[in-house]
Amino acid sequence: MSNGVTPKRKDVLMLQATSALTRGSGGAELTEDAFAWFHSHYYEWIDTPKKSAEANGRSPQDVWGEQWRDFAQRFGEIGRRAAAAAGNGKIEAKTLEEYARAVERESDCPWCPDKE
């Protein structure tokens, strides 16, 4: 950056995740609350070490480069499902959360947020 300030890598990864989500939504508008929910849900996830045998204590941030396509596919799927549910309306936080949790539950992914 021209001002000599480098954004935290975690923030850059959140931008990538949000970009994949919005691409998946096909241009459907997300409410401010939906973006806030997405940020709060995935921001801590990015650098939280995962406990599965495959993850072996690594966080999504640790494997972002090698796993990015899988992450992007899942974020895009969340956007697609939420947009379809919203019809021609805006994607609300409740709808986004519902489909994010559904994609997480259905995914056989050692990096996904812990199942609730």
- CA dihedral (112, 13, 54, 98) in degrees, to 10, reads 0
- CA dihedral (67, 45, 34, 37) in degrees, to 10, reads 180
State pLDDT tens for residues 7-46.
578 999 999 999 999 999 998 999 999 999 999 999 999 9
Nearest one of 39, 29, 114 to 75, comparing CA atoms: 39
Average pLDDT, rounded, for the chain = 90
Conformation bin of residue 103: beta by default, left when phi > 0, alpha when psi is -120 to 50: alpha
Query: Which amino acid is residue 32, in one-letter code?
Result: E
Q: How far apart are CA 116 and CA 62, in angstroms?
A: 23
Provide the b/e sequence for 69-104 (b: ≥16 CB within 10 Å): eebbebbbbbbbbbbebbeeeebbbebbbebbeebb
State pLDDT tens for residues 33-83.
999 999 999 999 999 999 888 899 999 999 999 999 999 999 999 999 999
Indicate whether 1 pLDDT > 50: no
